[in-house]
Amino acid sequence: MNNKKAKHIKIGTRGSPLALWQAQQVLNKIENSKIIKIKTTADIMANKPLSEIGGKGLFTRELDKALLNNKIDIAVHSLKDIPTNLPKKIGLTCILARGKDQDILIPAKKEWDILSLPKNSVIGTSSPRRTAQLKIIRPDITIIPIRGNIHSRLKQVNDKNIHGIILALTGIKRLNIKTNYSILKNTSFLPSAGQGIIATTYMKKNTKIKNLLKKHENFQTLQQAIAERSVLEVLNGDCDSAIAVNSKILGKNIYITSNVYSLNGKNMVQSLLKGSIIDAKILGKKLGEKLIKNGALEILKNDKQ
């Protein structure tokens, strides 16, 4: 009789409180698994803008290496941190339902919202998309770069003497952080592609893990992920691009909306498409092409110059 215990399935994650919370949700679905914390370059260099140190791929590169070197079996990410050009040997899926996808303003004074902030307020964010959207809504606002985990960014509202910061609502909800905030409505503050979605990556050749994740796959969330990432892929969006993409599923249809902004907030193109949820990838690509036809690439190109 063989009494050997089965090897633990190793779930890799960054070490921030939110990343660990997300990994725990995956662990809750995967029997006989354990969490492996991996430090990424983006965590080590948290005081520098992503655009200066190599882009948002720095949140995932070390986890990709750990997968490729068989040090972990599954990596857990916030989908919005994953570049569209994953290594060919790595697959991606979603096994958890999408969380809240909105952005929020966390003000220094609880009575403030985005419109009632004092004139010439200072707001913290390192996101080009959020910067452009803020400049459209409140061109008087001064924006300063701010990075780090959620708790460190919340602390900076007081330490840096700023009027507020912009964060994703889902992080506050998932960590059960009690703070005052106002939701920035999607009509004027469309989120980034994949916001609120937890993604799992794995080695395509590892059929055991692939089949295990397939068994838990969340079909609707996965189709939203595919649709939104397809828009980014066509636009060749990166961490310097002010691109917003969001989708909703109603019945058997998916509705995809995307806005492309100039970094100064003075130019914007927007488009939307709807169609069958099973055509999510095709629709996402068509929406990207529609945006290009409307001038999206010119806006993005001008911001690179």
The residue from 43, 73, 81, 238 that is catalytic is 81
φ, ψ dihedrals at 241, nearest 5°: -90, 135
Cα gap 270→22, rounded to integer Å: 32
Condensed to tens digits (0 to 9), the pLDDT of residues 181-199 reads: 999 987 789 999 999 999 9
Residue ranges of E strands in 25-181: 33-37, 74-78, 90-93, 103-107, 122-124, 142-144, 164-168
* pLDDT tens figures, 15-34: 999 999 999 999 999 999 99
Q: 159 catalytic, yes or no?
A: no
- Mean pLDDT lowest for which of 228-237, 241-250, 280-289, 295-304? 295-304
Domains, the chain, ordered by start:
1-98+197-217 (3.40.190.10), 103-184 (3.40.190.10), 218-305 (3.30.160.40)
Residue 270: which pLDDT band, with cuts at 50, 70 and 90? very high
Mean predicted confidence (pLDDT) in 140-151 = 90
pLDDT at 161: 80
Whether the per-residue pLDDT at 96 is higher than 90: the answer is yes
In the sheet that 103-107 helps form, which strands lie side by side, from edge to edge?
A: 142-144, 122-124, 164-168, 103-107, 182-184
Find the mean pLDDT for residues 150-167.
Answer: 87
